[in-house]
């Protein structure tokens, strides 16, 4: 036989040399929940190993992130009070704004990305202002842009709108530029699907809708061409990075978007994916370490340049150990 593919699989050194997909800890983002109050480190029941931190204790988590070799975090705020329009989202003294000021002072070596949405801040749990039972797109866009500017003023290095309103990326870009934040990038949740994989997150953030669902603004999971169109619109409006969410069940979407646009592309491996691995490992059904490594690699193989994952610390450590990379 002239060509034997197995020749290049003979030994770990050779396999690593010819590896097609390579992972760096530089591309990992760790999502973190920050809650109002003092001296709080509260484990999330549906996400074992993940916690809600009060600002005075968030340093414990940030130090773990730094020690693991992860350089970026994404902050999600859990306010003490909510109202109909989610005004706590853009309050200069809000939970995210104070968390940013603390973290940027104490741990300036980390890169801070903020989730820009209203669902954690509204009394009804939807991602924007309501008109009856319907989320008012254009009014919500105004509030989302105001929130993004507030985060930038508090020290956010990047903003990531997750609301899926039409036109919000352009509005954010215009608002940031008008306020002097020309160099603050936007990571757009471009293809965010209405997914059952978000269940544990909604428990963690207390953001489940009080009525109805989010299918009028998050995407139908039957569709892929629509995802490509959404990504194209976000790029045209000024998105610097585009994102697909959830992760593992949407790798076909990620692949198509990456192939189409060749833009920096992120994938969010969400709470339900994390919870399934943790639950199966606890029951002894799978090898947790190997499952984390394999699923992470498949996401990069499908086209992810950036991976947002609750396993970011573990993945970074596995890279250091040479288990993946």
Q: Is residue 34 within 8 Å of residue 55, measured between CB atoms?
A: yes
- Element containing residue 148 per DSSP (H, E): helix 137-154
Q: How many CA atoms lie within 13 A of 77 on its CB side?
A: 30
- Is 192 annotated as catalytic? yes
Q: Which among 134, 133, 103, 100 has a CA at the least distance from the CA of 116?
A: 100
Helix (H, G, I), strand (E, B) or coil at 217: coil
Q: Is residue 123 within 8 Å of residue 179, measured between CB atoms?
A: no
Q: How far apart are CA 97 and CA 218, in angstroms?
A: 26
Query: Choosing from 71, 245, 256, 258, which is the catalytic residue?
Result: 245
Q: How far apart are CA 300 and CA 309, in angstroms?
A: 12
Work out whether strand 265-269 and strand 158-161 pair parallel, antiparallel, or are unpaired.
unpaired
| Radius of gyration from C-alpha coordinates of the chain | 20
Q: How far apart are CA 79 and CA 134, in angstroms?
A: 23
Find the length of the chain.
325
CB atoms near residue 216 (< 10 Å): 13
Q: Is residue 253 within 8 Å of residue 224, measured between CB atoms?
A: yes
Query: Choosing from 71, 82, 192, 258, which is the catalytic residue?
Result: 192
Angle between helical axes of 271-282 and 288-301 (0-180°, round to 10): 150
Q: How far apart are CA 140 and CA 127, in angstroms?
A: 8
How distant, in Å, are the alpha carbons of 4, 155, 294, 317 from that of 324?
A: 25, 33, 8, 9
Catalytic (active-site) positions: 192, 245
């Amino acid at each position: 036989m002239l060509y034997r593919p197995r020749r290049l699989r003979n030994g770990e050194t050779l396999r690593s040399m010819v590896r097609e997909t390579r992972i760096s800890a530089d591309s990992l983002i760790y999502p973190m929940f920050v809650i109002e109050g003092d001296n709080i480190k509260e484990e999330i029941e549906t996400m074992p190993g993940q916690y809600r931190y009060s600002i005075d204790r968030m340093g414990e988590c940030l130090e773990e992130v730094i020690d693991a070799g992860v350089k970026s975090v994404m902050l999600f705020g859990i306010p003490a009070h909510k109202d109909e329009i989610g005004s706590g989202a853009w309050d200069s003294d809000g939970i995210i704004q104070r968390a940013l000021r603390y973290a940027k002072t104490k741990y300036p070596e980390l890169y801070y990305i903020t989730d820009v949405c209203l669902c954690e801040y509204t009394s009804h749990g939807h991602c924007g202002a309501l008109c009856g039972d319907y989320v008012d797109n254009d009014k919500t866009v105004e509030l989302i842009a105001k929130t993004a500017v507030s985060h930038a003023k508090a020290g956010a290095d990047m903003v990531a709108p997750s609301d899926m309103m039409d036109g919000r990326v352009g509005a954010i870009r215009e608002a940031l530029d008008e306020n002097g934040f020309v160099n603050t990038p936007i990571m757009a949740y471009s293809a965010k699907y209405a997914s059952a994989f978000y269940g544990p997150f909604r428990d963690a953030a207390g953001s489940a809708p009080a009525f109805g669902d989010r299918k009028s603004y998050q995407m139908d999971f039957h569709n892929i061409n629509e995802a490509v169109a959404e990504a194209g619109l976000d790029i045209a409006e000024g998105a610097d990075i585009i994102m697909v969410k959830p992760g593992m069940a949407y790798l076909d979407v990620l692949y198509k978007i990456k192939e189409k646009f060749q833009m920096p592309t992120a994938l969010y491996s969400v709470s339900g994916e994390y919870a399934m691995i943790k639950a199966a490992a606890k029951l002894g059904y799978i090898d947790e370490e190997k499952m984390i490594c394999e699923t992470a690699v498949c996401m990069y193989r499908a086209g992810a340049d950036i991976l947002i994952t609750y396993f970011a610390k573990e993945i970074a450590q596995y890279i250091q150990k040479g288990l993946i990379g």
